[in-house]
Amino acid sequence: MTGFLRPNTDGSVFGGVHLGYVVVESKRLTDWDRFGALAIGMHVDRFDADALRLRLDDRACRFLIERGPAEDVTALGWQVDDHETFDRIVARIADRGVPIEEGTPEQAARRGVERLWRFPGPKGIVTEIFTTAVTTPEPLRMLSSGWVTGEAGMGHVAIVSREPEAMRGYYHTVFDSRLSDYIDENVSGLRMRIRFLRVDERHHSIAIANIRGVKIDPIRTRVQHINIQSATLDDMLASFQRVTDLGFRMAWSVGQHTNDRELSYYCVTPSGFELEVGWNPVVITPERESTWEPSTYQGISIWGHSTVGQTVLDKFAQFRRAVETARTPEITVPQLSGGLSR
Ligand SMILES: [Fe+2]
């Protein structure tokens, strides 16, 4: 429990939810093993012939890489701090007529949780919630000295959306997410807006990017990037060097973000979405929380983050005239997405 005084008497679940794990479907388990262990510096366990687990801390699993064709994130696992908060979330789903079902014991075992429940999420990314993670006494064997998790969860996820208001509405309805700030960035004459949402003390656990006024999504994967946070600057820079030395693709070199001041770089995972490895972002402590007001920053980075190869910004520029007409609508889970107009 932190200073957010959970469970909140106003019925909010804010502060009681944290990004717990990410499920990836990939055929490239050998590449993920090498990428995770030797480049990024995470602990990698071979769970069975069809699954890898990547650890950052004493949890048995932070990334589950399951064998399959998608090369994408298929589910996000959210830790809920207590059963009262859990019951509130489940009631919101059920009351709105959205199916929620318990995961199988095998699914729970793979993810390193005691039990989990699953329900539909934006862009077809399944939302999973759990209260009790499995920890392991097995020491971490990894090149990094450590990762920042704990009350801030394991990191954040960034998603490009053609329906950003609906997606923001979803996380507001389900988790009482709060808007930390916006970033506006011009991309070859197009105006990109990113909304940063927090559910705990991490400045954002979810970032939602869109081009204003044009429904385009040039990213093949449902998730544009996942972020994890190095314990030290030396760890972050050493992993940057290993990623380069081992021949994995870099997307953005080291730089610093305008809003949460995080130093980071972005590289490309074996599944094609990006991994941002960061250090020292602003933490929205309970003291800051009480007075926090969202603001709008112009530009993603104060310095650095120069592009290496093609980036999300280049892809947006290429899609300048690709106004959505032919593709199917984005999955929004409308029962859980209403109520916010910004
Ligand atoms: Fe990020």
Tokens found for residue 246: 């081992």
Tokens found for residue 53: 């687990």
> Letter for the amino acid at 86?
F
- Please choose, from the candidates 73, 64, 38, 229, the residue with its C-alpha nearest in 3D space to the C-alpha of residue 134: 64
Ligand 1 centroid – CA 60 distance (Å): 24
Return the pLDDT at 323. Answer: 56
CA–CA separation, 83 and 96 (whole Å): 20
Ligand 1 centroid – CA 277 distance (Å): 8
Return the pLDDT at 143. Answer: 98
Residue pLDDT, tens place only, 210-233:
989 888 888 899 999 999 999 999
Ligand 1 centroid – CA 21 distance (Å): 16
CATH of 17-130, one of 3.40.718.10, 3.40.50.1860, 3.40.50.11900, 3.10.180.10: 3.10.180.10
Ligand 1 centroid – CA 320 distance (Å): 23
Strand partners, 211: 192
Ligand 1 centroid – CA 105 distance (Å): 32
Q: In Å, how far are 20, 163, 287 from 60, measured between CA atoms?
A: 11, 34, 32
Return the pLDDT at 213. Answer: 86
Return the pLDDT at 313. Answer: 74
- Please choose, from the candidates 160, 194, 191, the residue with its C-alpha nearest in 3D space to the C-alpha of residue 180: 194
Fold annotation for 150-322 = 2,3-Dihydroxybiphenyl 1,2-Dioxygenase; domain 1 (3.10.180)
Lowest mean pLDDT among 161-175, 198-212, 237-251, 324-338: 324-338
Ligand 1 centroid – CA 140 distance (Å): 25
Ligand 1 centroid – CA 137 distance (Å): 30
Return the pLDDT at 335. Answer: 96
For 1-51, give the secondary structure using H, E and C.
CCCCCCCCCCCCCCCCEEEEEEEEEECCHHHHHHHHHHHHCCEEEEEECCE
Query: With bands split at pLDDT 50, 70 and 90, how would you rate the model's confidence at 320?
Result: low
Ligand 1 centroid – CA 59 distance (Å): 22
Element (H, E) at 200: none
SS3 for 336?
helix
CA–CA separation, 261 and 257 (whole Å): 5
Mean pLDDT (the chain) is 93
CA–CA separation, 268 and 219 (whole Å): 13
CA–CA separation, 35 and 111 (whole Å): 20
Ligand 1 centroid – CA 276 distance (Å): 6
- Domains 17-130 and 150-322 alike in fold: yes
Strand partners, 208: 159, 195
Query: What are the sequence ranges of the domains in the chain?
Result: 17-130, 150-322
Ligand 1 centroid – CA 101 distance (Å): 30
The tokens 């808007």 sit on which residue?
179
Running DSSP on this structure, what letter comes out for residue 307?
B
In percent, how much of the chain has pLDDT > 70? 93
Ligand 1 centroid – CA 278 distance (Å): 8
Ligand 1 centroid – CA 31 distance (Å): 23
Q: In Å, how far are 44, 151, 229, 298 from 342, measured between CA atoms?
A: 41, 28, 29, 18
pTM, two decimal places: 0.94
Residue pLDDT, tens place only, 23-38:
999 999 999 999 999 9
Ligand 1 centroid – CA 265 distance (Å): 9
Whether 46 contacts 138, CB under 8 Å: no
Ligand 1 centroid – CA 225 distance (Å): 7
* Length of the chain in terms of residues written: 342
Ligand 1 centroid – CA 274 distance (Å): 10
